[in-house]
Amino acid sequence: MNIHEYQAKELLRAYGVPTPPGEVVYTAKAAARVAQELGGSRWVVKAQIHAGGRGKAGGVRLASSPAEVAEIADQLLGSTLVTEQTGPQGRVVNRVLVERASRIDREFYLSLFVDRVSQRIVVIASDQGGVDIERIAAERPEAIRTEQVDPGVGLLDFQCRKIATAIGLGRRAAPFTRLLKRIYRLFRDKDCLLLELNPFIETEDGDLVALDAKMTIDDNALFRQGAIAELRDFDEEDPKEVEASGHDLNYVALDGDVGCIVNGAGLAMGTMDAIVLHGGRPANFLDVGGGASPEKVANAFRIVLKDPNVRAILVNIFAGINRCDWIAEGVVQATRDQAIELPIVVRLAGTNADAGRRILDRSGLDLIQARDLDDAAAKAVAAAAGRTEVRVP
């Protein structure tokens, strides 16, 4: 789960990490009032969406009067911001953060994340702040410093000093070390997967400040992170994914046209691979789970069909705990109740597969049956492309 920049900054402040003074607002009038209260002569207005790249897209703008702050807030609020990270559909801006502008001397990149390869928390830092890290990694890999943290002892002072020296903050090694250790503690306490400060800056007065913050919390830890779980912003999530999680279905929207309904996460991944292998593109990942009832299957169809890009649906069931006849009932019921007109390819294997196939046969519905996964993927890709014949990859 992601949280907004202003929320991450509140947490950083609570852990003693300096951020620019500011406040989130929902109206232009409030933006002007906050600017007035903050004082100073320059402010920055920042669109709060769960995506970076806002600066280049006009979502982070400087103002030199409270009236100008209000003007920018008015333009941003309600607008759709398209950045490198939002996808072409963009994100609607519902809140903006008004901050006193910082006077930047140098911009750095600093992030902590859980590295799956080493299975440890890794710190990444660079003196090339503000730019996206993938580009630095590609163009100037030597400008990136990484330190792995041993979970037994935690982040050590000498590691912080090494990073400070490597990014040209050797002079400020002591305050940098204090800061990084606080960030590390926050990361651990809140079960983060990622905490990225890009940029983190040295101001003209020599202060180290987190100017931007992106924080991702491990969904599996939300049960013990009640206060953070409440920060979940449903406006930032795909409504289909929100609905699916309400039905205990594991759904992730993708951008292809073959809708997938599968039991088991591994099989769902394999199904997506098979679709791609046959030249198609999956519209989603969907795991209906082990004991999928006809109701659950019907809900799965409902969610998959909310995606207007879907041209064909592939139901792929390998029943161990499940029963294929039960799934088949669900498919038939959903196809009738929801008056589905798209081609539906069904592959059933495992417990009661024959009984399941008979139910599909006898339904009188125009369901396309498949022998195995390969056959199913080929037929679904062909159906999505409006072809009836199958191409051999």
Smallest gap from Cβ 366 to ligand GDP, in A, equals 49
Catalytic residue among 6, 109, 184, 251: 109
Give 102 or 351: the residue with its C-beta nearer to ligand GDP. 102
**Residue 44 contacts which entry, Mn ion, ligand GDP, none (Cβ below 5-8 A, type-dependent):** ligand GDP
Q: Could you write out the DSSP letters of every residue in 194-235?
A: EEEEEEEEEETTS-EEE---EEEE-GGGGGG-HHHHTT--GG
Query: Which residue's C-beta sits nearest to Mn ion?
Result: 212
List residues near Mn ion by CB under 5 A: 198, 212
Judging by beta carbons within 10 Å of its beta carbon (0-12, 13-18, 19+), is residue 139 exposed, middle or buried?
exposed
Residue 199 and residue 209 in contact, taking contact as beta carbons nearer than 8 Å: no
* CA distances for 181 relative to 100, 382, 391, angstroms: 26, 55, 57
Amino acid at 134: E
Query: Which residue's C-beta sits nearest to ligand GDP?
Result: 55
Smallest gap from Cβ 125 to ligand GDP, in A, equals 16
Smallest gap from Cβ 196 to ligand GDP, in A, equals 9
**Residue 102 contacts which entry, Mn ion, ligand GDP, none (Cβ below 5-8 A, type-dependent):** ligand GDP
What residues contact 184, with CB distance under 8 A and at least 6 apart? Answer: 112, 121, 123, 149, 154, 155
Give 132 or 243: the residue with its C-beta nearer to Mn ion. 132
The Cβ-side half-sphere exposure at 180, using a 13 Å CA radius, reads 30
What residues pair up with 125 in beta bridges, in sequence order? 110, 145
Rounded to whole angstroms, the Cα distance separating 93 from 382 reads 39
Smallest gap from Cβ 94 to ligand GDP, in A, equals 16
Q: Could you write out the DSSP letters of every residue in 75-102?
A: HHTTPEE--TTT-TT-EE---EEEEEPP
Give the number of other CB atoms < 10 A from CB of residue 230: 8
Amino acid at 325: D
List residues near ligand GDP by CB under 6 A: 20, 44, 46, 52-55, 60, 101-102, 104, 107, 130, 198-199, 211-212
Give 97 or 304: the residue with its C-beta nearer to Mn ion. 97
Smallest gap from Cβ 51 to Mn ion, in A, equals 10
Give 212 or 325: the residue with its C-beta nearer to Mn ion. 212
Is 196 annotated in the active site?
A: yes
Q: State the DSSP H helix or E strand holding residue 174, giving kind and residue range, or none if neither.
A: helix 173-189
Give 59 or 280: the residue with its C-beta nearer to ligand GDP. 59
**Residue 211 contacts which entry, Mn ion, ligand GDP, none (Cβ below 5-8 A, type-dependent):** ligand GDP
**Residue 101 contacts which entry, ligand GDP, Mn ion, none (Cβ below 5-8 A, type-dependent):** ligand GDP
**Residue 263 contacts which entry, Mn ion, ligand GDP, none (Cβ below 5-8 A, type-dependent):** none
Is 109 annotated in the active site?
A: yes
Catalytic residue among 68, 196, 202, 329: 196
Catalytic residue list: 109, 196
